[in-house]
Amino acid sequence: MRLKRMIPLLAILALAVGLIAGCGKSGGSAGGLKVIKIATQSPLSGGSATLGEAIKNGAQLALDDQQKAFNKKGYKLVLSPYDDMGDPKKGVSNAQAISADNAVLAVVGHLNSGVAIPSSQVYQKNNLSMVSPAATATAVTDRELSTVNRVCARDDFQGPAGANYAIKTLGVKKIFIIQDKTPYGSGLAAAFRDEAKKLGATILGYEGITVGEKDFSGVVSKAAAAKPDLIYFGGVYAEGALIVKQARAQGLTIPVMGGDGMDSSTSVQIAGSGIKGVYYSTVVGDVTKTEKGRKFAAAYKAKFKKNVEGYSAYGYDSAAVLLEGISKAIDKNGGKLPTRQAVATAVRGIQDYDGIATKVAFDGKGDNKFAKIYIYKFDKAVYPATEQTEITKK
């Protein structure tokens, strides 16, 4: 008898759990407010977690700052962070889960171009607007997908900017290039190489390494034997800083240059004192130069108990641009929840956003017309490095 009575009770409990889970999928409400979710996709574990965490934290601050304004409209903002692990397959899997959650109206991400490219195909199919703070490969926006945008500069701007600085300012004539064979690393290295050749430099070597490797003594020995004036690395700090450390251990004191993948405090942690004399181009500038940037840095440290990273403010601006688009779409829809398509159209139409780190105006591809490149140098084993110059695309 007890078993018979328990069966209906279990059925009722199961139904209740199912209804709760269903509400989570459709967004539901919180305290009478309709829930709008902003997802983030970035590596929160693995070798690039420092940069990925910075993107997520910056986005969280943007939602915190906009919460009251959206509450007045009848909505509650919720951040939904996903760990893409810097892995394209994981990114696509996450993108499918994000797209299935009807409460998600936009995505901040990705860090890695190699993850952004396949994942954005999923967003496009689901009319889900994406703004990347960091994916710099040209293919991200050259596909001209209506939902894909970025606030950062492209590699066909960053690579040549680095080459121009290396040759015209540092006086480099012979270069050995190492790249990590990812869409980001290889694309950036190729753009640097092509411009360096145009400027008359000799490329002594162009070698590929594998992401996740730890021992680069072989390729470093090759570089040392070629006797270059500079080693250029296309990739992220997890491998780049190790290459720097191992190059210094082999007695190579020449400058090393990389791209924005080296823009991290973890570069210093890995390379130690060997980081001195390392240059990098980056799509992010020093936010503490402005009053609002300093306020952002202070708020970031107060909330997360850590200093800002290069992509912290760009994570903020990416989320803030998406929120501006959502807000405009809500207003255009008479205060009602807009469709994802309406949000995507509003985001792409943004031409006058003045952010913490950058101004934003999207062109027809989703690239930011105001994107800049900055060159930094590590004079000592301390992050952030010292800014050398700011470059605006003509």
pLDDT of residue 394: 66
Task: Give mean pLDDT, residues 325-337.
Answer: 98
Residue with tokens 């409209």: 73
Q: How far is CA 277 from the centre of its chain?
A: 25
N residues, the chain: 394
CA distance 42 to 46: 11
Q: What angle do CA 49, 268, 357 make, to 5 degrees?
A: 65
Largest interatomic CA distance in the chain: 90
pLDDT tens profile 106-132: 999 999 999 999 999 999 999 999 999
CA distance 72 to 330: 12
Structure tokens at 381: 């084993």
Please say if the pLDDT value at position 335 is more than 50. yes
Nearest CA-CA partner of 176 in 234, 116, 231: 231
Helix, strand or coil, per DSSP, at residue 57: helix
Please say if the pLDDT value at position 17 is more than 50. no
pLDDT tens profile 71-88: 999 999 999 999 999 999
For helices 113-125 and 183-198, the axis angle rounded to 10 degrees is 120
If you classify domain 156-282+374-392 with CATH, what class do you get?
A: alpha beta
Dihedral angle computed from the Cα positions of residues 232, 234, 235 and 238, in that order, rounded to the nearest 10 degrees: -10
Please say if the pLDDT value at position 5 is more than 50. no
pLDDT of residue 30: 73
CA distance 15 to 28: 17
Helix, strand or coil, per DSSP, at residue 129: strand
Strand partners, 178: 207, 233
Neighbours of 59 (CB within 10 A): 31
Structure tokens at 300: 């970031």
Paired sense of beta strands 129-132 and 148-150, if any: parallel
Paired sense of beta strands 29-30 and 202-208, if any: unpaired
Q: By CB neighbour count within 10 A (0-12 exposed, 13-18 middle, 19+ buried), where does 254 fall? A: middle
Average pLDDT of the chain to the nearest whole number: 93
| Sign of torsion over alpha carbons 313, 316, 321, 322 | positive
Task: Give mean pLDDT, residues 236-242.
Answer: 97
pLDDT tens profile 243-295: 999 999 999 999 999 999 999 999 999 999 999 999 999 999 999 999 999 99
Task: Give mean pLDDT, residues 187-211.
Answer: 98
Please say if the pLDDT value at position 16 is more than 50. no
Sequence ranges of the domains in the chain = 30-153+289-362, 156-282+374-392
CA distance 191 to 134: 17
May I ask the CATH architecture of the domain 30-153+289-362?
Answer: 3-Layer(aba) Sandwich (3.40)
Please say if the pLDDT value at position 144 is more than 60. yes
Please say if the pLDDT value at position 11 is more than 60. no
**H-only helix segments in the chain:** 2-26, 49-73, 88-100, 113-125, 139-142, 155-164, 183-198, 217-226, 237-249, 265-271, 291-304, 312-332, 340-348
Share of residues in the chain with pLDDT > 70 (%): 93
Residue with tokens 């694309």: 187
Q: Label residue 43 by pLDDT band (50, 70, 90).
A: very high
pLDDT of residue 226: 98
Helix, strand or coil, per DSSP, at residue 106: strand
Distances (CA, A) of 376 to 41, 244, 257: 27, 16, 10
Q: Label residue 31 by pLDDT band (50, 70, 90).
A: confident
pLDDT of residue 27: 54
CA distance 66 to 46: 31
Q: Label residue 29 by pLDDT band (50, 70, 90).
A: confident
Structure tokens at 164: 């121009």
For helices 155-164 and 183-198, the axis angle rounded to 10 degrees is 40
CB 187 within 8 A of CB 260: no
Please say if the pLDDT value at position 9 is more than 50. no
232 torsion bin: left (phi>0), alpha (psi -120 to 50), beta (else): beta
